[in-house]
A and B are shown apart, each in its own frame.
Chain A
């Protein structure tokens, strides 16, 4: 018999409903695995053991009472960017190292209501700024496939936790690729929904116009189950969209016959590792055999994504992070001499280097005399990129390409050169700028390291993306492979 931790959410849910396992038992299994591997992976910032077992007991009671629901009793992990009432929410920063939120994020609240059991809070790049989870104040996360390598970021803790089967699923956030890139590097499924599909209330803001909550799972089917619970309008988030939430599982198995896939010309450029290209093309062949047609499309403005993003995101972050001033909560420097000293030392000591770099870039691009040349121009380019996508979706149903240009790199390999690090998001940023949903699914390995295929769709096409990903996963087993030592 396969161990419990090898199962998907859907499988665990079935077992819980059958009564072949209890939520308390499952929770104990995962808590034990977290404890066992925390030393090597550092995937968690906090483990909420007691609360988890209490929640599991409540879930078991609900099941015993005959309640039905895909997530009742299923243990999950939350990225430490989501506020959790009564539990620490650090955002990977010294600034919030001891911060306990007085309220639950909408995502946390909804998953809690759906019966999911919170195991703990996962490690992440500080304030979600990074692509390797090396900027965390709580130390780097290691890739379960190779502990010398990074798991990607910023949701590296969530991705490593799911890859190592320390949790069957985890929430995450994606501002420039922070769900999809670690999903690709850790060999798990990662869905970034349409901007506005999932409430941002209670998600510590990095770049408000780009941030979107999503999830990391073993399978696309699991992603559908979690998204169903997370998605939907929230009156507390003005940018959440008032559209009904479709039944994401209903269309999962739909045949792909007639599906028009666009191959993103700009994604198959010279920066792409040729072996990764091979894996992607092999995956595309699987989809073609399923009945999809392939067509190359070009998004001429897409290569401007990275510079555009690195104006818009820092601009918003410089403003969003201004509230961390040592006055009301969070880190405060010792014995400030005066107000300016309080601000300077609190922020100087409380934020790490990458966060400070982005705040400074952001303040610069918004400042008088530079605003037009940087921020405004970036917004114009952003509109052009969105228009490119819109045009492409007149011709094709989904766009497919690699999630990342390379497989997981070694710890420290890019920390000295921020621009090289930023280029790791070259294929993922476009979807954020245009607010589009995108999913990364495992599609093979290069030298023992996982490779991710990215599927991007029009706004609110999550059912389609999940359908394509699910059909692919029916024809492949890459997503079921766990790293050696974690099977």
Chain B
């Protein structure tokens, strides 16, 4: 039987507010355990939550960016369950009335077509703390620094049909939240993570299969691997005549497999009800309009503009706009290098991306800034150096943090464009290789390359390739 995979994602994105969603405690990552837990985060008797208005603004931004309905009234609810890293014994979240309803983003498929992925809802909630099972032997520690960090939970429609699509959607959201500056997107620290709901059904079937939920995936690779494993597991199970259990599963990255965490029967009854400590969140038109006016250029808009303005392919425009920082960097290069947008695009996506990747740096941490890179490219354009030598110069700039001109000067890499100098080199090579010259003139055209190589060798690779070709052809021809 042919099977169709159905995937929906729930993304948790920590919002970049300075303080927590219901208390004044700081949200910075990496403080000593419980150093950033206020009495409110610790759920002391008598304390009350007060909503952080900035978190609301950020959620509204997100809703507007995915063309969703931003609800004029949303309500916080309590999700009740006991766990040591949940100090109140309930999580404040939004349940029946979330702040954002119904939106969508488009992802680019491998065949170059676009696919719309629906977003059911996005709601505000607080993060839990962390249980530290390894910190103290035989005991579990609790760190409540993360407790109360604002999150938006973004729930997609079950619109994705492969692990690849799921990753493309996740990347799209990752790009978007960073553009909006509402989440730092740091997956390692858990500020951007997701749960995947995965099911399979016979191709053509209408009814969805029973789904498993894979919890807490914190890298694009894990999302892909976990879904691939889970899909194969479910198909194998069904083809052997078994049934998929509705359950929560964990992805074990070391073993590359998912395994059952708890079944539906063991699932908590969360006893949701509206939180009486918090008023409904009411938003009026002027507030929403003001937030809309503050939205930055979004990734899709920017990619379209790049394609139109710089003559880039849709794919290249997509790559260059994958992050705001990369797009800004690229535009800075182009700004200094008017008219050579394509050369800039190739270098940024090629050599620069390669160096960043090799050294594990973000574009913001690049050892060569946009103006510096533009100068290097300018030296290709004005024939100071060849494109081939430019790679060497860039590597040297990267290592020595020096300008292109300084490297070119110090290493004597300036191209020889002086015709008489090139002619002298050609003459010397021709007289040193009389045999090959005779063969060439007898019709062995392939030897042209040999002479190019010899002249390049003689000039230390600095002869201007176009001039060299031209002069060499003339001279060899007699």
Contacts and interface: CB of A to CB of B under 8 A. Distances in A.
B45 A339 contact: no
Interface in B6-63: 39, 42-51
Given A208-B276, A238-B279, A371-B273, A322 B89 contact: yes
Nearest to B51: A238
A88 to B, nearest CB: 12
Contact of A319 (B50, B87, B89, B142): B89
B88 A103 contact: no
B269 interface: yes
Given A203-B46, A323-B45, A375 B273 contact: yes
A161 to B, nearest CB: 21
Nearest to A127: B45
Contacts of B378: none
Contact of B45 (A204, A238, A371, A375): A204
A47 to B, nearest CB: 21
Nearest to B23: A236
B273 A101 contact: no
Interface string A314-339: 01101101110101111000000001
Nearest to A96: B45
A361 to B, nearest CB: 12
A373 B292 CA distance: 41
Interface stretch (B77-85, B235-243, B304-312): B77-85
A368 B264 CA distance: 13
B362 interface: no
Interface string B135-176: 000001010000000000000000000000000000000000
Given A209-B276, A238-B279, A366-B273, A327 B47 contact: no
Interface in B290-327: none
B89 A91 contact: no
A205 interface: yes
Contact of B88 (A323, A343, A368): A323
A82 B47 CA distance: 11
A325 B142 CA distance: 13
Given A89-B45, A323-B43, A238 B278 contact: yes
Contacts of B419: none
A366 B43 CA distance: 22
B48 A236 contact: yes
A174 to B, nearest CB: 16
Interface string A216-246: 0000000000000000000111110000000
Contacts of B89: 319, 321-323, 325
Contacts of B42: 328
Interface in B252-271: 269, 271
B49 A319 contact: no
B220 interface: no
Interface in B68-104: 78, 80, 82, 84, 87-90
A363 interface: yes
A202 interface: yes
A239 B274 CA distance: 14
A201 interface: yes
Given A205-B46, A209-B276, A238-B49, A327 B269 contact: no
B82 A325 contact: yes
A204 B47 CA distance: 8
B273 A327 contact: no
B90 A319 contact: yes
The residue among A89, A239, A325 with the most chain B CB atoms within 10 A of its own CB is: A325
A215 interface: no
Contact of A103 (B39, B49, B278, B279): B39
A82 B46 CA distance: 8
A268 interface: no
18 contacts: A82-B46, A83-B44, A101-B45, A101-B46, A103-B39, A201-B47, A204-B45, A236-B48, A236-B50, A237-B50, A238-B48, A238-B51, A238-B279, A239-B278, A316-B273, A327-B84, A339-B84, A368-B269
Given A323-B88, A339-B140, 8 more contacts: A202-B47, A205-B46, A208-B276, A315-B273, A318-B271, A323-B43, A325-B89, A366-B273
Interface of B: 39, 42-51, 78, 80, 82, 84, 87-90, 140, 142, 269, 271-273, 276-279
